[in-house]
Structure 1
Amino acid sequence: MKLSDGPNGARGGTFDHGKPAACVSLAASWDSELAVRIGKGMAEDATTNGVRLLLGPTVCLHRRPTGGRNFESFSEDPFLTGKLASKYIEGLQSKGIGAAVKHFAANEQETHRFTIDRHVSERALREIYLKPFEIAVKAADPWAIMTSYNLLNGSYVDENKHLLTGLLREQWGGFQGLIMSDWGSVHSTSASLNAGHDLEMPGPGYYTRRRLPILCRLSRLFPEPIIPPESSIDRPEHRQLIRQAGADGMVLLKNSGILPLKENELKSIALLGFAKEYLGHGGGSAAVNSQRKITPFKAFPEALKGDVELRYAEGARTWRIFPPLQKYDDEKQPGHTMRVFSSDSPEQCTTSRIYKLWYQSVGVPGIKRITVTGTFRPRASASIISVSIRWETQRFILNDEKVFEDMRPTADLIARNKIGMIL
């Protein structure tokens, strides 16, 4: 059974160089029927990618305007979020594609999301943070719930029997779907299984490895167990739906008579900031290779018919994370060459090409050493290169010269088993 990230679009099996997919922004439409149509459109995209279970929607709330994943959630209001999410799930599952509602629970911040312990009172938990999940479970019966990384009131969510069994399985009407983990969010064997957790991802599990009857039940829903190859269909009706969803979600807070712009009175327009970059969606699990990419800098000339001067200035450039040193691997192909060694022998290794040095499973047990090599040519001369490597002990070599080393092992389970945010 194939799964795919899907809060903003059914991306498919890879983060990079994947098949194009529709990208949506439901935002503040307050339109439940539009959410149903979006869900159906997402199901059609998922089907073309051979996907059976979409990892979404995200129903965690907006705690602050700068929240790292606000763009893939619905709202700061638990009732509105639950209602819209239920309709989204209804549309998605009506086409035979399952929904995995995430991230359960109290995962409203990205800072220290792997290790933070959220202390929330029972009343606030039920009335605010769990309410969207409860509404979605009772109204839409999603196929799956995905657990989060964080601790909640002293215990990891995957080990929290009060949440997984007490509330989800018993108090909320007997949820019969799959309880699965986020990638690397299982922290034990017995405690997790005894709490009611079903599936550790990614597989094969580090802590739990067993065949689950619930997966067998899900598999019977598919007439053909074969996963078809990914494809991409640019549907005109999807483009129209995305445009409507984006427009209906816009809210004009104030207009002092400037809008709409009167083209016959315009002489010049200044575009500032990221106007030359396509920002149709966020990153991480919401990243989608959109069918049609257009920037404001290109869109304005298409919309303006008169003789209007278009001016542009980027302004101050800020980076949330440094851009990757991503160019060519050892074979001069886009990406990097990664070699995973399970022994001390330099000949015994698994070699693969990776397109981006980003959070991913290395897929090999008993790792002794990992090397990542490639070629990078900077666009301009520079005297400083900032490097961040995270996997157990670490060393960075540039032109055969060691420029960075940290031999201190990490206690972070995610970092121990994954390559994350490298370069």
Structure 2
Amino acid sequence: MFSIVNPFDATFLSEYQYITDNQAFYDCNLCKKSFVIWRTNTLDERLKIIENLIFILYKDKQNLAKQCTLEMGKPIRQSVAEVEKCILLCEYYLNNALNFLSPRTITTDGTESFVTYEPLGVILGVMPWNYPYWQVFRFAIPAIIAGNTVVLKHASNVAGCAILLEEIFIKAGFPEGIYKNLLISGEQVTNIIDLPYIKGVSLTGSEKAGVAVATKAASTIKKSVLELGGSNAFILLEDANIEKAVATAVTARMQNTGQSCIAAKRFLVHQSIYDTFLEKFKIAIKALKTGNPMDEDTDIGPLARVDLAEEIEKQVVKSVEMGAKIVVGGKRDKAFYTPTIMTNITTDMPVFKEEVFGPVAPVMPFDTFEEAVALSNSSEFGLGVSIFTEDIESIKQKIHLFEEGAVFINALVKSDPALPFGGVKKSGYGRELAENGIKEFVNVKTVYIK
């Protein structure tokens, strides 16, 4: 048995028991049987149920948002926005899936050549708690539209959200076994990957979990997609619009209480504007309201668990011992950690070289563009980078210098249904979203006729 408590006030929410391996195998087998029928449905038939799902999401939006806020502490406005983003994703694939999955004619020396995109089978998703709906949707929706069926192991501390997800798929009219929630522990995941009819696995989570899942998938020669950690640099060049950069920086670091893989986690500012940016950034951070995440005007809620706040505290304290200075914040109260700005940063400090999964912003000056690139690329991660400059044409010629999955100019790094999402280096491999995402778990079949 395991319990879920509200991170805001530590009150008891619910208690669950992990299902046995045999029950999990039964559920997976159900999805295998459903796949045989689901794959034969036309794309139009699948998309009609996606239309129903959109309706259900609109109808249940507030209930879904409330459960998310209760279980992991996300400010309620942001929880609502997360559900709305899931709707946006469904609408995107509703409008584009036919184009993405239609056969492609290829000119060869044969009389006819074309490529088709066929589903693989049952796909396992292993998803995290920080965006309990969005992370699932961006994996599951394209996989299901492509004709696969899905089994999902969600993070244990959002088990209630996981149950609601399965319920809305049922309400939308998906046949049994198209989407199945598995209430299993992390240790049980490898047993699921071992099943011969599990044809692929997508994981969003920690580097440690990614290594374990990728190793197991590779040992059984199964496709895997990994979306792991990030330590995105947020770079202000000498000609940056400081007002715009400050406003964006606050959201980029503090949204979801800093618990995002694509959050800006290292702020690199040109020496000539460093003091000005720091002062304005400090004022903006101080203006954020910390409190009950169920209140509409709350900007910063608790971390999802007390141990997560404790880990951030350790990273900050160690960095201070190494010479860093706390400009704002730097205090923990149970699961809360105050929005924090730090200076006197060196590259060997935990707040620079590690992923800090919370509301901590280390700010570091640089003198030259080359230095900024080197600092940005010095991370083991490679998910994304934000660059602020007024010289757009110049920076476009230098995008190749950044070892990242995404480069955002004068904007925060974000996931958009129309854009491929994923990283390089220890941020993982493969892509979600857009055309790339819907084709990750399909058989790209070549047909040649002489």
Superposition TM-score, scaled by structure 2 size: 0.25
Higher normalized helix content (fraction of residues): 2
Superposition TM-score, scaled by structure 1 size: 0.26
Pick 1 or 2: higher relative contact order, CA cutoff 8 A, min separation 6: 2
